[in-house]
Amino acid sequence: MVIEFSAINEWLSSYILPFCRIAGMLMSMVIIGTRSVSPRTRMFLALSITVVAAPMIPASYTIELFSFAAVIEIAIQTLIGVAIGYLTRVVFETFIIAGQVIAMQTGLGFASLVDQNTGVSVPTLGQMFVMMATLIFLALDGHLKLIEIIIMSFESLPITESEYFFVNLDRLIDWTGLMFTAAFMMVLSAIVALLVMNLSLGVMTRSAPQLNIFAVGFPIMTVVGMTIIWFLLKSFLPHFIAQIESGQSMACELLFMEC
């Protein structure tokens, strides 16, 4: 039995290039791409998904693996996967920013802890928002939807046409800036309420200068802040769903898919 090298090269190409796109997404997406999941586990998941999905991908490409063109193609597939996973990071960062804004305005910003996923210190309120977003994301099968999108992308954006992905890359950059807009709109009512509260404390201090604003104002702002957070939680789910749908629409636009 004689096996030609060209057959081996074609077989490896049908698995290695899809693996790079899938692994890039798993490396950068939320939950799976964080520090809480070991690289070995992410590698196993990427291999498992590739083994299942690769036979269903049209084998319309053959590339010499031991060449410079193969290195370029592997880098392109990895960047496509990283960009799709990056969309979920932007969605979750929206709620971290919203939590930081409210925490700083209400005096709760002093309570901070180290985020195990990013390794930076964030306010506890922002971490609570991230935990809520993570649970909702898993409950809505967002991770499965993301895997479905990356597999379907091999039909809408074949490996032979991967360079067209960078045509709409500027849209991804513009969409990232909307993260701050979405976070501000989420906490706009809370900011207005806290501004009115600060103005009321300023008027009270002006009318009664002997009143210690730090001794009276801080507890009042904390209680008002906790009440505002309680009301804000009622609108958390609609904001999260809107952000997820926006991220899904952007992913479909980048991958030339119909959602």
Pairing of strands 121-123, 112-114: antiparallel
Structure tokens at 153: 């992308």
- Per-residue confidence at 230, pLDDT binned at 50, 70, 90? confident
Segment 212-223 mean pLDDT? 74
According to DSSP, the residues that pair with 32 across neighbouring strands are: none
Q: Which three-class secondary structure state does DSSP give residue 257?
A: coil
Largest Cα separation within the chain, whole Å, is 98
**What are the phi and psi torsion angles at 114 (to 5°)?**
-85, 125
CB 21 within 8 A of CB 81: yes
pLDDT category of residue 26 using cuts at 50, 70 and 90: very high
pLDDT band at 81 (very low <50, low <70, confident <90, very high): very high
3-class secondary structure per residue, 128-158: HHHHHHHHHHHHCCHHHHHHHHHHHHHHHCC
User: What share of residues in the chain are helix, strand, coil (percent, to 5)?
Assistant: 80, 0, 20
What confidence score (pLDDT) does residue 60 get?
59
Locate 240 and state its tokens.
């999260």
DSSP helix/strand/coil, 258: coil
Q: How many alpha carbons lie under 13 Å from residue 127 in its C-beta half-sphere? A: 16
d(CA 172, CA 178): 10
d(CA 183, CA 166): 27
- Cβ-based neighbours of 100, under 8 Å, separated by 6 or more: 109, 122, 123, 125, 126
- Are 176 and 207 in contact by the 8 Å Cβ rule? The answer is no
Q: What is the identity of the amino acid at 99?
A: G
pLDDT digits (tens, 9 = 90+) for 112-152: 776 666 666 777 788 888 889 989 999 989 889 999 999 99
DSSP H or E segment with residue 75 = helix 68-106
What pLDDT does 118 receive? 63
How does residue 44 score in pLDDT terms, banded at 50, 70 and 90?
A: very high
**3-state SS class at 200:** helix
